[in-house]
Chains A and B, each alone.
Chain A
């Protein structure tokens, strides 16, 4: 990409999905834009770009955030986990497996955000009740499933005792 008017490149160092990385971003990139357009982590989805759908949910220094509401410049020195970092080399995360087995996705575009959010939930509350799951996931919109199977999948992933370490 060539330099154009109003663009200003910055270099950002961050640990992304466990890998220290240095990447070039535009100073006005959001973290969402940087993750997608500069780094190529296309699993982070854009649904609304104003914090109201949760499709771009990532974990930033241990906290769930909407990547569209973070500037790329802000993540200097931070650790970020995206959907691409949820499965390990051993295989899928129990949440991912539960989403598959419970048919908790239809179009799938909200799925990365839901799985990242649900992982953050199980990290702090390994055995949530249905109401806990619904409250925690209220920032993630799904238009296909009516949430039923998503909530069930999170409960199943927790119930198996396979919650994340």
Chain B
């Protein structure tokens, strides 16, 4: 581990100050499952960890039928997975909160951290995008929000500027006859980085798909919202043809690379497979038989 200091601010303002003073070499420590490894292996230069887990807004999970869900950016996956409101209204988040790493990783890792880490393959990000989540950011100039799909700007890069950090993730209130799902593909049963992942949110009006949001990960420098795939589904009842069209749109949007975790051909193909699988599960969760 490089020489790093540790601070545990007791207010959001104090955290902003510490991060602003620390500049590029100050990093927010939430679950630490990515950050500590990056710092230890000297893949990033860091001299200050700002532990935000003492800050209530960063650890709270709140649900309100009118406002929707607010997940503190540092709330660990196991608490998200155990939250009754999340279980009832946002099963798509349960999909990812129970898949990131193993049990011991879920004891620490947070969806906010997963998002900020901005891995193209981050298993929390497609679900946040599909759900239409907004990211609440605190910084020297106060608060601002960014749509989840606009948050990541490249591998390991995001929109945060000096002194800024993510406070909470806000998902809109659930609608009747809506459903969402997240799936990923990994070579082993657990403990792998996704070769490809995907999430789909469907809202129905009768049998007709009123709106659809389709997100895929690990097929581009950042997780993608595939609007063409959503458009292929929206406006008509779900059919094999529309599902195939959405899958084709996901494949077309994919611009993956060959690396040690997967090939271009494999990833593009999987984008279609996983989007298809997610559509079926999302529809089922919405109470619609595809």
Contact = CB atoms under 8 A, between A and B. Distances in A.
Given A28-B3, A28-B4, A63-B78, A50 B103 contact: no
A64 B189 CA distance: 20
B108 interface: yes
A69 B3 contact: no
Contacts of A106: none
Contacts of A120: 103
Contact of B6 (A6, A50, A73): A73
Contact residue range for chain B? 20 to 34
B182 interface: no
B6 A51 contact: no
A50 B1 CA distance: 12
B1 A30 contact: yes
B40 A50 contact: yes
Give chain A's interface secondary structure class: mixed
Contact residue range for chain A? 35 or more
B36 A71 contact: yes
Interface string A17-30: 00000000001111
B103 A139 contact: yes
Contacts of B105: 51, 66, 69, 139
B191 interface: yes
Contacts of A8: 3, 5
19 contacts: A27-B5, A27-B6, A29-B1, A30-B1, A30-B36, A49-B40, A52-B191, A64-B104, A66-B33, A66-B108, A69-B36, A69-B37, A69-B108, A70-B108, A71-B6, A71-B32, A71-B36, A74-B29, A117-B103
Interface of A: 6-8, 10, 27-30, 49-52, 54, 57, 60, 63-66, 68-71, 73-74, 76, 117, 120-121, 134-136, 138-140
